[in-house]
Amino acid sequence: MSTKRVVDVIERKTAFDGHFRIDRYRLRHELFAGGLGPEVIRELFERGHAAAILPYDPVTDAVVLIEQFRVGAYAYGSDPWLIEIIAGILEPGEAPEQLCHREAQEEAGLTIDRLEPALRFFTSPGGSSEFVHTFVGRTDATSAGGIHGLDHEGEDIRVLVMDFREAIDRLEAGDILFGPAAVTLQWLDRHRARLRAAWS
């Protein structure tokens, strides 16, 4: 376990506050060689923290994924319709587990009856504080499908039911570019036998 190092925040100001927020920090931080480094300015994109769930059917050995338009992928020049796992931003006071149940219903019309914590990670800590909790959730995938999402949020989400091995093959082929989906599918690949035994 690492010891706590010194961060001297000289100033923090909100540079933009709209749908998302950008804060500008002036700070100095402790150096590996000792002492404090020079003052640096860093902008930080604040969008809140998130949770994501990969619904898994241990009986059919299938996962439920979703597909939707993402402006960031469009701006990059990639196909902007990404294959993802269900995810959302945590509301104040909301537990990650609560968000998983809520978003599974909103984005895929799914009921989740068991949750297994998977991985936790920062998405891009060089410029964002966002922290993501991922889970695998037991579901019945036999009736999953259709188009879902909240109209007032402009969501247009297609549900994809996929054999687990096909999902791994598509991940390795570069068809799945959504980071939380990639790491959670790999986590399930390592823990699938245990979950199938426990959940079947």
Q: What distance in Å separates the CA atoms of residue 67 and residue 188, rounded to the nearest whole number?
A: 20
In this structure, are residues 162 and 57 in contact, taking their beta carbons and an 8 Å threshold?
no
Using alpha carbons, select from 85, 167, 75 the residue that is nearest to residue 118.
Answer: 85
Instruction: Provide the 10 A C-beta neighbour count for residue 153.
Output: 8
In this structure, are residues 122 and 133 in contact, taking their beta carbons and an 8 Å threshold?
no
Structure tokens at 40: 């640096």
Q: Is 67 a catalytic residue?
A: no
Among 153, 155, 166, 172, the active-site one is 153
Catalytic center residues:
153
